[in-house]
Structure 1
Amino acid sequence: MKIWVAAMLILACVTPATLMAQSGMPLNVEAALDRQVVAPLLDAFERVYPEIDLTYHDKSTLEVDRIVRDERPAPDVVISSAMPWQMARVNEGLAQPLNSGVAQKWPEWAKWRDEVFGFTFEPIVTVYRLNLAKHMMPPTTHATLNAILRSHRELLRGRVTTYSPSGSGIGYTLFQQDARYSPRFWDLVAAMGAADVSLENSTQAMLNGLTDGTYWVGYNLLGSYAMHWARNHPDLIVQIPQDYALVMMRMAFIHRDAPHPAAARVFMNFLLSFEGQKILAGSTPLFSVLPDVTGPYTAQRLRDQVGDSLYPIPINAGLLAFVDPMRRAAFMNRWNREIQILSP
């Protein structure tokens, strides 16, 4: 009897993480998040849980969304910056709740139904080459960007880049938000079209073109990628717009059909933990959400620097409107009309 009681006490102390450490549990994460940027967090997770076999795939937002919907076996954890698409999949029942202490304490404005969580706080920025200042005053607001596109159209022709709303989920989301907050947004789109803007599907493609001199100005780049890249490319200047700055959050959830849900819960809890967020704030430009985390990259520090001109994209059911087919078709029709309106 004493042996049986002792055995039961030992089993009672064994956590799911301990069981995984003993058995070696796989974990598959599908993410629209550059591994180089998030590497400090992934490395820390692998140090804390060395027996969890983490496989991390970095893909585009649209490809991640396709995998979530169509591929089986499903991924364990899904991460994407395309906030409306993430919300749509959760609304369709493709996520499972995370019932943990860190999930329950997570800021209400950065989660939905304890199923999907915004764990970063990333400003959307303009990036320009340093030598642009030799020819014109660099843009600090959406209005001044519009102004230089019109006053220096020939000089900037073919040297401006931004997202393709048809080829990028995050690009489409950001333009939808621009149209919501700026009454002059479509004027800016027309001005970009008149300058023969080059549309790219990723921030990295825009940064590559800015670095090699193909582009002089990039609009609506992800600030996290741009800041990370600019560390080693001092000829690029990252500008948070001073009139208003959109902020997007990477959204993460555990897939409803996750093959390894226990490992997925461990990963999500680490992502949302104080320790995980401290790594984001101190070692990555992804910006921590938690208000009590300190470091160079935190939501509070960004608010202190930019003030009331920060416009975070909220995590709520309103995101679902952006993936409505009729609304998307109407937006794309106007985009195609405006982007060409002043072109030769």
Structure 2
Amino acid sequence: MNRRSLLLSLIGSVVPTSTFAQGRRPLRLLVHESVPRLDLLVDAISTSLPFGEIAVAAQEARPAQIVARFSAQANVAELPDLAILPTPDLAVQLANEGRTFPQVLESGFDVPHWRSEVFVLGHDPAVFVTRKGSIAEQDLPRTRLDLARMLEQGGNRFQGRAGIVNVGTDSVAYAIASQDSLRSSMFWRISAAFGASRARIFDTADELLSALSAGTIDFGYNIPITSARSFLRRDSEIEIIVPQDYVLGLPWCGLVPHGVTWPGPVPQAGGLVSLLTSQRVFDAFSEIGLITPQKPSVIENIQMIDPGPELLVFLDPLKRSRFLDLWFGLVVQN
């Protein structure tokens, strides 16, 4: 998917109805940037009501910008009606601060949630990526231990040829890294191995994948599979490696900001988030690579991360500062 501008205007289908003939505005959807096949998702949302299509005005923003929009609630007119956030820690933080509004889902769509305010729409597995033929088949890392050994024992082979996403600036990368560090001490060994290999650090997963596609690097670590699959549609030489030891599944979360009332029809009172949990929308999520509650994962050893107050630990300023200091100390070795 090409990088879009922040504002996308009315990309959902619009069917003239008496509701919109009376001047009701479209539903404002705020999603994180680089959502693959956003048009597919918006179309699914626009047709998710049983009694007709709705107009959807979609905007893209980075997770931090979404959080800022929710936090600046003095200007209600600028708030979205719905938001999709790929970072459960930030979603829980918003709910904990009273920035979200509880929802009641339609019967039959019981998805994981926290306090009926943060709803899991699907999990995005974190994978390894490489370019076909750039690493010999027998040397491809299938586990984190394989990866550490590949970097440590590769000599000059991987100097400047591996890539990672900056966990200090990318909210998704930070969420993945913090959870990865809790599950295995290999995380810090790998971080040090990347540092010794003078790994290239990218601001986003999309930038890393672009470098991989261009041949600038040969390997990428902890990349959301939705981003990888999006690039794979454009470049068949990109190869996804699903780690065999364990796979982290970071949830995309559906949120409704406190204080906003969309004037159009909704599935039921208090259930605006139901527009994100219809079967059509789940099918769209599955198409772009998410593991949804409606479609069990075929990935073995996947560890699903669900929203909860424990995710706030790594958002504590002191904890975050110490984590980043250690990460940069290992990865940036001058």
**What code does the residue aligned with 1:239 have?**
I
Question: Aligned-pair distance for 1:45?
Answer: 2.8
2 CA distance for matches of 1:130 and 1:213?
10
Match of 1:128 in 2: 130
Match of 2:216 among 214, 219, 229: 214
Q: How does 1:192-211 map to 2 (within 5 A)?
A: 192-211=194-213
TM-score normalised by the chain length of structure 2: 0.85
CA gap 1:274/1:52 in 2 versus in 1, 3 angstroms: closer
TM-score normalised by the chain length of structure 1: 0.82
Larger gyration radius, structure 1 or structure 2? 1
Match of 1:29 in 2: 29
Match of 2:152 in 1: 150
Match of 2:279 among 274, 277, 281: 274
Task: Report the more deviating stretch, 31-40 or 45-54.
Answer: 45-54
Contact 1:20–1:52 under 8 Å retained in 2: no
Match of 2:305 among 301, 307, 313: 313
Counting matched residue pairs gives 309
2:235 is the alignment partner of 1:233:
yes
CA gap 1:176/1:48 in 2 versus in 1, 3 angstroms: closer
Match of 1:165 in 2: 167
Identity across the alignment (%)? 22
Contact 1:140–1:242 under 8 Å retained in 2: yes
**What code does the residue aligned with 1:332 have?**
L
Task: Report the more deviating stretch, 254-263 or 71-80.
Answer: 254-263
2 CA distance for matches of 1:144 and 1:222?
20
Measured against aligned partners, the alpha-carbon deviations of 1:61-103 in whole angstroms (never above 9, x if no partner) come to 222222221362322212111211111001111111112324x
CA RMSD of aligned residues (A): 2.4
Match of 1:15 in 2: none
Secondary structure (helix, strand or coil) at the match of 2:139 reads coil
2 CA distance for matches of 1:321 and 1:48?
36
2:110 is the alignment partner of 1:106:
yes
Secondary structure (helix, strand or coil) at the match of 1:306 reads coil
**What code does the residue aligned with 2:146 have?**
T
CA gap 1:155/1:95 in 2 versus in 1, 3 angstroms: same
Higher share of residues assigned helix = 1
Secondary structure (helix, strand or coil) at the match of 1:121 reads strand
Contact 2:122–2:291 under 8 Å retained in 1: yes
CA gap 1:47/1:337 in 2 versus in 1, 3 angstroms: same
Secondary structure (helix, strand or coil) at the match of 2:299 reads helix
Task: Give unmatched runs, 5+ long, in structure 2.
Answer: 1-16
2:252 is the alignment partner of 1:250:
yes
CA gap 1:313/1:261 in 2 versus in 1, 3 angstroms: farther
